[in-house]
Every structure is written in C-alpha cells, then in structure tokens.
Chain A
C-alpha cells in the first residue's frame, strides 16, 4: 500500500474490525509524518531514478507459504555504499511512544512463571537447605556450658603445697587455720543448696579433723613464748566461725542445720582448747 489513506476495500473492511491492525496503521502514519521532518540531502534526482528503475525491472519473487527455518544471511552480502552518510539529527519528539497505540498484552501466570524460573529454583534450593540445616542442628546435643573453676579446690591446692614448704609449727598452725576457715565458709555457702545434707556432713567431718587433730596438734608444738600472739589469732578466728555457723544454722534446712551446729560445736571446742594452751604458756 503506497498511501495509507487509500487502501483496498477488503483491507479497509478488515481494518474497521481489527484493533491490532488499526494500531499498526496509526503507527505507520506516525512514522510517515516524522519522516517528512527529516532533513533531505541535496540530490540531482538521478540516483533515485536509477534505484526506482532497478526495483521496477527486478522480477517479482513469491514468498514461500511457510518458513521452515529461520532465514539465513546470504554468504556474500552486497557491498555497502562507500560514500559517507551525513549525520542526521534526531527529530523524534521525546515523549512519543509508538507502543502506546498497540493493544495491551494480557498478564499471564504461566508466562511470568516461565520468565522467573531461575529465581524460583534458587529460592527452592535455599529453602531445602534451610530445612535440612535446622533439622540437623536440632539433632545435635546442646553445647556444653563451661563449668566455672572451684574456688575451694583452688584454695586447698595452694594451702596444701604451702604446707610442703613450712618449717615450723607456727607456719603449719597458720596454714591449717586457713584450711579450717575455707571448710567452714564452704559449709555456710552450700547449706541451703545441699538437698540431702550429705555434702554438709562430709564437710563437717573434714572440718572436725582439721581443727581437733591437725590444728590442735600443731598448736601444742608452738613455743610458749609465741603462743599468745600466734594462737590468740586462731582462737578469735575459731570463735567467729562458731558464731557464723550458728547464725547460718537458723536459716538453713534441718539436715544442713545439724551439720552447721556440729561445726559450731567443733569450733567452740577448738577455741576452748586453744585458750587452755595459751593459759598454760602464760602461767609457766
């Protein structure tokens, strides 16, 4: 069709009914109007006449009914004209959008899904890995909570090796008095947490041995001239331990209170015997 305003009747009838073709006609008109605005290079008209004559004289080739395959480019393409083309400034209006005239495409779930399948595949893979990781992690045992160091054990190790270097009864009395203090203190600390009282009884037994055997045995070996000073401190320390054990016994469950009262009694007995040793030294 050379002129868009003069179309054959059968085509005009089709155009009246087909919205897509109407859109294409509008698009072609717009292109024609814009083409007229392009600057035309100066010409004597001979080249145009030669080109038209060549087109008209060429034999008409019928297009195949169906395309079996995509057309291939000819192996020997005609050479491009060597004359440089003049640059042409664009004259298209900035806001012109030819696609606006075309009928709008309908949104389809299938087409959208077909476009987005790689992203879907990645998301599905991540989901599978997340589920696997969570299930594996839940099967693992919970991480072990590090147990804090035991202050009583630490103190007793230090006091034990300190005893190895002691040379005199005075040094040994001082170390053993600290061992007794540590044990008495531990009893007061765990009194309310010991459910059966078994640990309290074990501690009370150790405390009694340290005070009435170890400490008193060494106290007897302290020289009379040093007893008042050295053993006086131990006497006060034992008296304080007895009071503290009694106080804690009032706030503790029955099984722990018994052990604490026994420990208080041991401390009082130790105090009494230490005082006697001091008095012996003073009276001699």
Chain B
C-alpha cells in the first residue's frame, strides 16, 4: 500500500515538474508595466519605424535610413544595459539588435543596392551605411567578448553577430 502511494506521489511530482518546464512563467501586470516603462523609447521607435517602413516599402534607400535610426536607438539602450551590468537585459537587447541588423537593415541595403545599381546616385551613401554597420557589429562583438558577462545567451549573440557581419559584407559584391 505504502509502495503504491509512493509511486503515485513520484509520478505526480514528475508530471508537475514536466508541466512547469513546458510553460513560461506569466508576467504580472506590475512587471509588464515596469518593462514597458523601461523599454518605452525603443517601443516608440519601433512603432514609428514600422509606420514609416509601411509607407515606403518599395524604396530600399529610405527603408535603410529608417533602420539606421532603429539600430542607433538599440545600440544606446544596449550600452546602458552593459554599463549597468545587467546580463539578462544585455543578452535580450543584443539579440534584438542583431535581428534588426540582419533581418531589417541588411535586406533593405541589398534592395537599395539593386535599385540604385553600381554607379547610381546614393550608392556612396549606401556604402557608408554598410561600413558603419560593419564597424558597429565589430564593436558589438568586441564589447560582448571583453565587457559583457560571459553567459550562454551572450555567446549566442556573438555567434549570431558573426553571421550578420558576413551577410553585410556580402552586399554589393
């Protein structure tokens, strides 16, 4: 009898553990309010940029300019989080910045290069944005390796930035 009860108890405990691992803990209203307060600047920039991008979706050059602003905003927030020694926030913002660089800025730059052509007007400006972006990625990787806390999430961001650098480097070649 006792053995059966013990087996049942262990089974229930393991099931509860497995169930708990499957779900992310829900945030309380207060936590969400604090997160919004903290990220309000970036959220406003993202919403504004989404509206601008939707208006100019066919224009790669303008879309690229739009992403430059988003990248700049994320870079400032990321630097602040790194100075505050907040590893989880550094990893979170690093991942977002990498996403914006790779999936927002890079395809926009590629489209702009195609639209302008090799000798077209504004190609120098695009080259400048590409070089600045590569410098930013290098700076981020160096900062991540030397200054940010060494966590699996940060290492993942460093690896992902390497792919972004390769993508950016291949534009216009």
Contacts and interface: CB of A to CB of B under 8 A. Distances in A.
- Do A and B actually bind? yes
Interface of A: 144, 146-154, 156-161, 163-167, 172, 175-176, 179, 183, 186, 189-194, 199, 202-203, 206, 209-210, 213-214, 217-218
Contact of B39 (A152, A190, A191, A214): A152
B53 A160 contact: yes
A161 B96 CA distance: 10
A164 B101 CA distance: 11
Contacts of B51: 209-210, 213-214
A260 to B, nearest CB: 14
Contact of B50 (A163, A165, A190): A163
Interface string B96-120: 1001100110011000000000000
A147 B89 contact: yes
Contacts of A190: 29, 32-33, 36
Given A144-B86, A164-B63, A199-B33, A153 B54 contact: no
B39 A150 contact: yes
Contacts of A146: 86-88
Interface of B: 25, 27-33, 35-40, 42-44, 46-51, 53-55, 57, 63, 67, 70, 85-89, 92, 96, 99-100, 103-104, 107-108
A202 B44 contact: yes
A92 B92 CA distance: 84
A161 B104 contact: yes
A194 B96 CA distance: 26
B156 to A, nearest CB: 14
A175 B50 CA distance: 9
Contacts of A163: 50, 53-54, 57
A156 B47 contact: yes
A152 B47 contact: no
A193 B53 CA distance: 32
A149 B99 CA distance: 15
Nearest to A163: B53
Contacts of A186: 32, 36
Pick from B55, B63, B85 the residue with the most CB of A within 10 Å: B55
A149 B92 contact: yes
Given A157-B46, A194-B33, 16 more contacts: A148-B35, A153-B35, A153-B42, A153-B92, A159-B50, A160-B100, A163-B53, A164-B108, A165-B103, A167-B57, A179-B47, A190-B29, A199-B36, A199-B37, A214-B50, A214-B54
A218 B53 contact: no
A257 to B, nearest CB: 15
A152 B87 CA distance: 20
Q: Identify the 4 closest CB pairs spanning chains A and B, nearest first.
A: A146-B88, A193-B33, A161-B103, A193-B29
Given A144-B85, A199-B40, A154 B96 contact: yes
A200 to B, nearest CB: 9
Contacts of B48: 209
A213 to B, nearest CB: 6
Contact of A192 (B29, B35, B99): B29
Pick from A157, A166, A194, A213 the residue with the most CB of B within 10 Å: A157
15 contacts: A148-B25, A149-B92, A151-B27, A152-B39, A154-B96, A156-B46, A157-B96, A160-B104, A163-B57, A164-B104, A165-B103, A199-B36, A210-B51, A214-B51, A217-B54
B35 A176 contact: no
Contacts of B32: 151-152, 186, 189-190, 193
A74 to B, nearest CB: 74
B100 A161 contact: yes
Contacts of B88: 146-149
Nearest to A198: B37
Contacts of B46: 153, 156-157, 160
Nearest to B92: A149
